[in-house]
């Protein structure tokens, strides 16, 4: 029987995920939506023949909803995930799981009390072909030990609602999770550097920012987060090993030779750059629920990312290198 999906948050990524569930993913379809923007959500509900709920809580409680997708704004994730756990329903939550580690810990504790993994976090980089190939190459140690990672996360523009802390909480969190997963190592410290600003930013956003992380074995990571870079959506990850370098290649959409120039297009946005990763992520999420074996990024992964995120906040404020200490991973997540 196909799984009935309820989606909370019908903005940019909510609509993308609804389309992929209804048009690409086998074994599930969207039966319910909710959003504080009633006009937008009811219109969409009518288009896809789904029921509109005025609150996320009502949607989660509905017998017409088997599993839940949370794609509302970052600060609203925690309450909806806790509500889904309360109802014993599987929930896919876009990143961040909560906006700080205390919020993520409440989710971890609720899941442990429920005695079952119900939560998956939307860390879709783990489903991107480039990152998967990088991980394999690192694991084989064919180029020796990884020593340094040079990364960049660039967006063309950010609006006035995008504030300084979001460089980590909303953007850099992708690398914080993906690099820990790539290297299979936790972080021991974080440092933030605030370089000269672009004239394209506004007064409540320091842009760009640089994050420096160190892992348990001493691997150095530098990540540039630049959300008003103007030229496109650009993701870089170069892993320098003892005898070689392994790097992500931006998927090439078009190669152009014209007017004496020879160039490749740059992805315009996250929708285009990671479309295949999102599709694969949802295909596997639905399949894992059907087989009863949730295998994607867990609430614990969301929590560990948030501990790092908190350290970045302190590092930005103090200008110091901040230590990162984790508790032991609970048995449910081992
Ligand atoms: P958006 O602003 O386009 O859409 C968010 C929607 O949530 C809006 O329609 C808003 O009215 C609704 N909303 C806000 N508070 C709500 C509440 N309490 N209950 C119900 N609906 C509520 O934002 P976007 O870009 O779609 O982002 C949504 C979430 O997805 C964010 O948490 C963001 O971090 C994450 N995201 C993840 C991406 C990824 O690459 N994995 C890419 C883009 C977004
Ligand atoms: C957005 O929410 C995403 O998650 C995108 O992947 C990221 O590139 C962007 O910076 C975020 O705002």
- The CATH number assigned to the domain holding 238 equals 3.30.360.10
Query: Residue 292 domain-assigned?
Result: yes
Mean pLDDT for 26-41 is: 98
Report which bound ligand comes closest to the CA of 268: 2
Q: Could you report the per-residue pLDDT of 270-313, keeping only the tens digit for each?
A: 999 999 999 999 999 999 999 999 999 999 999 999 999 999 99
- Range of the structural domain that residue 204 is part of: 143-265+304-308+320-333
Q: What is the pLDDT of residue 6?
A: 98
Q: Residues 245, 147: one domain?
A: yes
Residue 20 and residue 164 share a domain: no
290 and 327 within one domain: no
- 314 domain residue, yes or no: no
- Whole-model pTM: value is 0.97
Q: Count CB-CB contacts under 10 A for residue 166.
A: 20
Q: Is residue 171 within 6 Å of ligand 2 at its C-beta?
A: yes
Q: Tell me which of 21-25, 49-53, 265-269 is least confident.
A: 265-269
Give the chain's domain count: 2
16 in contact with ligand 1, CB cutoff 6 A: no
- Domain membership of residue 131 (yes or no) is no
Same domain, 96 and 158: no
Residue nearest ligand 2's atom 9 by CA: 171
Q: How far is the CA of 83 from the centre of ligand 2 (A)?
A: 25
**What mean pLDDT do residues 41-70 have?**
98
Regarding whether 114 and 168 lie in a shared domain, the answer is no
The domain that holds 15 is classified in CATH as 3.40.50.720
- Distance in Å, CA 220 to ligand 1 centroid: 32
The atom of ligand 1 lying closest to the CA of 274 is 40
Which amino acid residue places its CA nearest to atom 2 of ligand 2?
170
For ligand 2, say whether the CB of 228 is within 6 Å of any of its atoms.
no
Domain annotation covers residue 65: yes
Query: What are the strands, taking DSSP E only, across the chain?
Result: 3-8, 28-34, 51-53, 67-70, 91-93, 119-121, 146-154, 187-193, 209-215, 220-226, 234-241, 245-247, 255-258, 261-264, 322-323
Q: What percent of the chain stands above pLDDT 70?
A: 100
């Amino acid at each position: 029987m196909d799984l009935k999906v309820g989606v909370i948050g019908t903005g940019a990524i909510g609509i993308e995920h609804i389309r992929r569930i209804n048009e690409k993913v086998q074994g599930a379809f969207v039966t319910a939506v909710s959003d504080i923007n009633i006009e937008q959500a009811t219109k969409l509900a009518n288009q896809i023949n789904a029921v509109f709920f005025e609150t996320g809580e009502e949607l989660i409680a509905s017998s017409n909803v088997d599993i839940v997708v949370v794609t509302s704004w970052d600060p609203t994730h925690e309450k909806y995930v806790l509500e889904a756990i309360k109802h014993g329903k599987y929930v896919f939550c876009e990143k961040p799981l909560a906006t700080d580690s205390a919020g993520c810990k409440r989710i971890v504790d609720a899941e442990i009390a429920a005695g079952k993994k119900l939560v998956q976090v939307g860390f879709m980089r783990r489903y991107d072909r480039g990152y998967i190939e990088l991980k394999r190459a690192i694991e084989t140690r064919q180029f020796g030990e990884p020593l340094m990672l040079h990364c960049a996360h660039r967006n063309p523009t950010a609006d006035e609602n995008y504030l300084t802390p979001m460089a980590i909480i909303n953007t850099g969190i992708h690398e914080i999770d993906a690099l820990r997963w790539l290297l299979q190592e936790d972080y021991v410290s974080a440092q933030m550097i605030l370089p000269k600003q672009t004239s394209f930013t506004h007064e409540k956003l320091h842009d760009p920012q640089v994050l420096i992380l160190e892992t348990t074995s001493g691997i150095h990571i530098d990540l540039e987060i630049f959300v008003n870079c103007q030229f496109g959506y650009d993701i870089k990850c170069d892993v320098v090993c003892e005898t070689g370098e392994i790097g992500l290649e931006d998927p090439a959409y078009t190669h152009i030779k014209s007017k004496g120039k020879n160039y490749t297009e740059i992805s315009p946005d996250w929708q285009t750059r990671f479309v295949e990763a999102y599709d694969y992520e949802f295909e596997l999420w639905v399949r894992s629920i059907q087989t009863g074996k949730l295998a994607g990024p867990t609430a614990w992964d969301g929590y560990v990312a948030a501990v790092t995120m908190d350290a970045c906040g302190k590092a930005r404020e103090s200008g110091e290198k901040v230590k990162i200490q984790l508790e032991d991973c609970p048995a449910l997540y081992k």
